[in-house]
């Protein structure tokens, strides 16, 4: 076989066939096809391995928090403390189970969306037509295509008859494009290669014969698939923040353990006792409930989003949209309805705006009716019969729009054909850019023509008179004005067709000559209902919406103005061909890109570069898409959002989230839910760390006090205010239950009236860490005061005194949760008090704390003993101190102007 041409679209069909060693009239011989398959391999794409059950399970145990807990469990097992070991292991398994079940269900939901591809292709081999499996296709095969077929490989057209192809999945172009066997210039973009039909695109009209020029991973679709696989999947912002928090906690645990070990050994305590103390400190410092709270908060967010038609593929992606400040969105079907409609009809008699029910202006213009009649006659599409609302229109969206506009004026095509039967059709010719039909009218024939304005105008010699009495010559000056008018309509975001007619005596004549121009018809894909208000909501929330489309620049600019993405009359549009390579991109180029909100005619590589530019500038980027060409950018973005209804398999598999309803409103709801989830997680982390730091400070203070008792360390046992199992009991119950209740809060109404968090902001900022330290010291002081009161004032034995410090900490945690309200909210009317889960968690935890002392088996396990009525009184007194101080601080902060700023984060 001769070497394949590098640019088959720019080479004649006969030369391409010769280079591939095939005669299109006979096709390949079966033996030759077999040899080529051995050489090129099967015609299939390399599919990325899905996330296995084992991988999903393993990913649940990778966090630093889980690793610290595992080390604590191992040390407890070495010391023979089986209850502590079992308890810590249970925490690890519960967390892993929650995350695993949530992500496994999400994976199954995504797999259920995958479609089954077309299994066979019609080819010519050994001079005869045959059906073969698409995987058996090889370069040089001659493929026969009809309307409705999906191209099974990259094909160079040999012959085309009225062929139009829907390339939206590959190029993003929303309107089917005409194709022909004529070569085009070698340097044109993929969307302009009219002599090629690419794998995965759909034939809308016509038929064709073509020769296979590339199969499998060598196709354009395969190249994009490979590009997607090469993109490194990014950690979500939440994953990065939790990882940073985990590393800080690990550093804190190991540093504190090391200090205590040195101090304890210098004080004369045994190594065994010091290691046990270090385990207690490690258990105290680690927020064991954090993974559980984060996973359950995210899982509940996943469930809420599913109710709003958003399916989540990866659990942390639920929160990512809350951190997003840039949303790259396609135009067709997301911002628009993906439904062409006629909006303007311009005739020599006037300019008429059209709505769904007819003309918005004067409807008696005979030229208006004639223009709509010509559009309905010169078509192959069909509308459902009258009264059959449950049926769908069939055919090209442009022709459907023409039929619907004509029907609104009572001009239904079946009735028109009864009056004027069709005798001949001249199918759409991509070269001529026109289509014509002949109709018997009396003893003569009417020719109805529609097509690209410049092509139709070139074929016209006259123009219909405004009064309709007689035709007028179409001079060059008049023709130029009509061309300018068509361009003006295009600048308004309309797709423009010209309609013309002619009356002849014979239906065998050339249709495209001596035509009479009747008018221009402007169509557009209308914006989705409410999308302008949604984009305004995004802007108020500090989220910038950017359009990235495969459509033409003028159309993109017009739609951007209509939906509110661009407010300028002439917004800047960057075309794909004008985007420099990333390596050659200057600082000025990057600034120009960052200041632009409309990008048109972009290739997959250019979409990737676009995401890179914004991410490098510190933005958290979300990318929407539905086509194969969107897959690499969907995977590269911080969160990829695919369309469920019209999205391709490749797009859905690369995305983190799939919109079942393809609605932009679902994205806005997801942004709100993501922000609420992050606020809830931040509030839960604050709660757990404040109380956990109190445990650390209390244990560390006890060790320091013992170290100051010079010469008595060896004789006096180390009295800790909290035992390891008591700490674990508190952390897993009085920590986790209120934290879970905080994690499922509904959030503030003002959450969408504040800007998104900075890209680099941690879960806890410096302000939060200072608050953690302050509250930790205050609660620890109350715990130690309770211990001292029990030992010194009430003269309790060690076990009862430790019970007092244990219960003081437990009840302090419960009351402290009510200090986590917003400063500008009332002490009673706030999201914490209105959360019924908080009250339920508080009541349950009170029961569990009392049970820790009153139930014999549990009391023995936790080594507690009732401190008596006086002890209980002091417990409630000391535990109330933090909440009283907290409410006083909130009252002071609430009076300040800054605290009353709407939308302030917790």
**Which residues are part of the catalytic machinery?**
330
8 A C-beta contact, residue 493 and residue 523: no
Question: At CB < 8 A and 24+ separation, what contacts does 185-189 make?
Answer: 185/10, 186/7, 186/9, 186/10, 188/9, 189/576, 189/577, 189/601, 189/603
SS3 (DSSP) at 427: strand
Instruction: Please provide residue 342's backbone torsions phi and psi, each rounded to the nearest 5 degrees.
Output: -80, 130
Please list the alpha-helical segments (H only) found in 337-495: 366-377, 397-408, 413-419, 453-459, 476-491
Q: Rounded to whole angstroms, how far apart are CA atoms 258 and 516? A: 93
Distances (CA, A) of 250 to 69, 286, 732, 869: 10, 8, 19, 40
Distances (CA, A) of 130 to 154, 156, 356: 19, 19, 47
Per DSSP, what are the bridge partners of residue 157?
210
SS3 (DSSP) at 420: coil
Instruction: State the Cα torsion 336-341-346-350 to the nearest 10°.
Output: -100
Q: Can you state the angle between helices 736-743 and 289-307, rounded to 10 degrees?
A: 30
Per DSSP, what are the bridge partners of residue 133?
120
DSSP string of 703-718? HHHHHHSTTTTTTSPP
Q: Rounded to whole angstroms, how far apart are CA atoms 265 and 277? A: 12
Cα 754 to chain centroid distance, Å, stands at 21
Q: Rounded to whole angstroms, how far apart are CA atoms 11 and 183? A: 6
List the one residue out of 195, 132, 44, 51 whose CA is nearest residue 656.
51
8 A C-beta contact, residue 560 and residue 598: yes
Q: Rounded to whole angstroms, how far apart are CA atoms 100 and 94? A: 10
List the one residue out of 591, 579, 635, 599 whose CA is nearest residue 616.
591
Instruction: Please provide residue 867's backbone torsions phi and psi, each rounded to the nearest 5 degrees.
Output: -85, 0
């Amino acid at each position: 076989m001769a070497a394949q041409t590098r640019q088959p679209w720019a080479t004649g069909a006969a030369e391409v066939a010769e280079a591939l060693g095939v005669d299109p009239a006979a096709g390949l011989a079966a033996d030759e096809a077999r040899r080529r398959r051995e050489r090129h391999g099967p015609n299939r794409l390399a599919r990325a391995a899905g996330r296995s059950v084992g991988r999903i399970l393993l990913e649940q145990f990778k966090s630093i928090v889980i690793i610290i807990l595992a080390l604590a469990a191992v040390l407890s097992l070495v010391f023979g403390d089986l209850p502590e070991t079992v308890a810590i292991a249970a925490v690890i398994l519960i967390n892993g189970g929650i995350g695993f079940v949530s992500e496994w269900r999400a994976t199954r939901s995504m797999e259920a969306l995958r479609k089954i591809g077309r299994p066979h292709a019609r080819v010519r081999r050994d001079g005869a037509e045959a059906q073969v499996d698409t995987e058996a296709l090889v370069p040089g095969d001659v493929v026969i295509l009809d309307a409705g077929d999906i191209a099974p490989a990259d094909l160079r057209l040999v012959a085309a008859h009225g062929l139009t192809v829907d390339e939206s999945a590959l190029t993003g172009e929303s309107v089917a494009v005409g194709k022909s066997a004529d070569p085009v210039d070698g340097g044109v973009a993929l969307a302009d290669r009219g002599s090629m039909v690419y794998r995965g695109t759909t034939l809308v009209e016509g038929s064709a014969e073509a020769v296979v020029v590339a199969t499998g991973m060598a196709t354009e679709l395969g190249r994009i698939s490979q590009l997607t696989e090469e993109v490194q999947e990014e950690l979500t912002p939440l994953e990065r923040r939790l990882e940073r928090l985990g590393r800080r906690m690990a550093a804190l645990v190991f540093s504190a353990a090391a200090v205590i070990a040195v101090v304890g050994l210098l004080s004369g305590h045994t190594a065994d006792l010091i290691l046990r103390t270090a385990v207690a400190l490690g258990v105290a410092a680690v927020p064991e409930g954090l993974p559980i709270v984060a996973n359950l908060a995210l899982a509940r967010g996943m469930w809420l989003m599913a109710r709003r038609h958003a399916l989540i593929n990866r659990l942390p992606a639920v929160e990512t949209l809350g951190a997003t400040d840039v949303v790259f969105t396609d135009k067709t079907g997301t911002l628009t309805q993906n439904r062409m409609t006629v909006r303007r009809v311009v005739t020599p008699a006037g300019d008429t705006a059209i709505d769904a029910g007819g003309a918005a202006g004067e409807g008696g213009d005979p030229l208006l009716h004639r223009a709509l009649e010509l559009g309905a006659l010169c078509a192959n599409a069909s509308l459902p019969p009258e009264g059959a609302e449950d049926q769908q229109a069939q055919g090209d969206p442009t022709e459907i729009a023409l039929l619907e506009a004509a029907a609104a004026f009572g001009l239904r095509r079946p009735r028109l054909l009864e009056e004027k039967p069709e005798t001949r059709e001249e199918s759409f010719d991509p070269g001529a850019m026109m289509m014509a039909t002949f109709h018997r009218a009396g003893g003569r024939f009417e020719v109805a023509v529609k097509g690209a304005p410049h092509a139709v105008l070139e074929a016209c010699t006259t123009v219909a008179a405004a009064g309709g009495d007689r035709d007028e010559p179409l001079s060059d000056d008049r023709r130029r004005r009509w061309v300018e008018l068509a361009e003006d309509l295009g600048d308004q975001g309309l797709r423009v067709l010209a309609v013309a007619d002619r009356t002849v005596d014979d239906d065998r004549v050339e249709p495209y000559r001596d035509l009479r121009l009747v008018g221009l018809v402007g169509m557009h894909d209308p914006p989705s209902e409410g999308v302008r208000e949604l984009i305004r909501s995004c802007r108020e929330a500090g989220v910038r919406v950017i359009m990235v489309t495969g459509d033409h620049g003028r159309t993109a600019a017009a739609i951007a103005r209509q939906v509110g993405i661009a407010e300028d009359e002439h917004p800047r549009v960057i075309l794909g061909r004008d985007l420099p390579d990333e390596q050659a991109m200057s600082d000025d180029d990057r600034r120009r890109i960052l200041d632009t909100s409309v990008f048109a005619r972009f290739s997959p590589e250019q979409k990737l570069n676009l995401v890179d530019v914004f991410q490098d500038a510190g933005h958290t980027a979300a990318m929407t898409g539905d086509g194969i060409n969107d897959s690499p950018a969907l995977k590269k973005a911080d969160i990829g959002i695919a369309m469920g209804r019209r999205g391709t398999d490749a797009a859905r598999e690369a995305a983190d989230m799939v919109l079942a309803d393809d609605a932009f409103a679902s994205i806005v709801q997801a942004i709100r839910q993501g922000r609420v989830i992050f606020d809830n997680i931040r509030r839960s982390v604050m709660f757990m760390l404040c109380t956990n730091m109190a445990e650390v400070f209390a244990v560390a203070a006890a060790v320091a006090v013992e170290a100051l008792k010079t010469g008595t360390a060896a004789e006096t046992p180390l009295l800790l205010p909290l035992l390891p199992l008591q700490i674990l009991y508190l952390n897993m119950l009085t920590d986790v239950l209120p934290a879970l209740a905080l994690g499922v809060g509904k959030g503030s109404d003002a959450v969408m009236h504040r800007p998104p968090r900075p890209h680099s902001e941690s879960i806890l900022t410096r302000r939060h860490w200072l608050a953690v330290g302050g509250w930790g010291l205050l609660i620890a002081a109350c715990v130690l005061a309770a211990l001292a009161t029990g030992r010194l004032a009430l003269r309790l034995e060690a076990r009862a005194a430790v019970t007092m410090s244990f219960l003081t900490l437990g009840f302090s945690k419960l009351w402290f949760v009510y200090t986590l309200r917003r400063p500008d909210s009332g002490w009673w009317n706030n999201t914490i008090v209105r959360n019924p889960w908080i009250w339920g968690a508080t009541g349950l935890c009170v029961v569990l704390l009392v049970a820790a002392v009153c139930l014999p088996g549990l009391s023995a396990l936790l080594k507690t003993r009732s401190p008596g009525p006086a002890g209980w009184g002091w417990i409630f007194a000391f535990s109330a101190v933090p909440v009283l101080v907290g409410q006083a601080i909130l009252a002071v902060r609430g009076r300040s102007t800054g605290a009353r700023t709407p939308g302030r984060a917790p």
